[in-house]
Amino acid sequence: MVDTSKEFEIRFLDHVAIRVKDLKVAADWYQNVLGLKKYQLPEWGDYPIFMLAKKSGVALFPANTSDRKYLLGRGRPLIFWPA
């Protein structure tokens, strides 16, 4: 039986994976409108593009990728750190 008396606490949200039609347009919007910092390492290739505010942010992926490791339902679309 599951103990439901304990609350689940999250220390912080690490990132949420988001599929977008145009990576550059989306990255520019997150940077210019929301003020998030862009992180993209060469070894990652064209994606993901991480847009962060301190420890939290979004990971941008192309909506039309045929790369099997990025198909919906695979991987971790929501990453958080429990307390």
Q: Does residue 21 fall inside a structural domain?
A: yes
Burial class of residue 24 (count of CB atoms within 10 Å of its CB; 0-12, 13-18, 19+)? exposed
Q: Does residue 5 fall inside a structural domain?
A: no
Q: Domain with 28 in it: what CATH number?
A: 3.10.180.10
pLDDT tens digits, one per residue of 52-67: 988 888 899 888 766 5
Q: Does residue 25 fall inside a structural domain?
A: yes
For the chain, what is the domain count? 1
CA nearest 18: which of 51, 43, 46?
A: 51
Q: Does residue 31 fall inside a structural domain?
A: yes
Which domain, by its residues, includes 43?
10-82
Q: Does residue 2 fall inside a structural domain?
A: no
- Residue in the structure block whose two tokens are 């977008």: 20
- Higher-pLDDT residue of 25 and 68 is 25
Across-strand partners of 20?
62
Q: Does residue 49 fall inside a structural domain?
A: yes
Q: Does residue 71 fall inside a structural domain?
A: yes
CA gap 42, 16 in Å, rounded: 21
* pTM: predicted TM-score of the whole model, two decimal places: 0.67
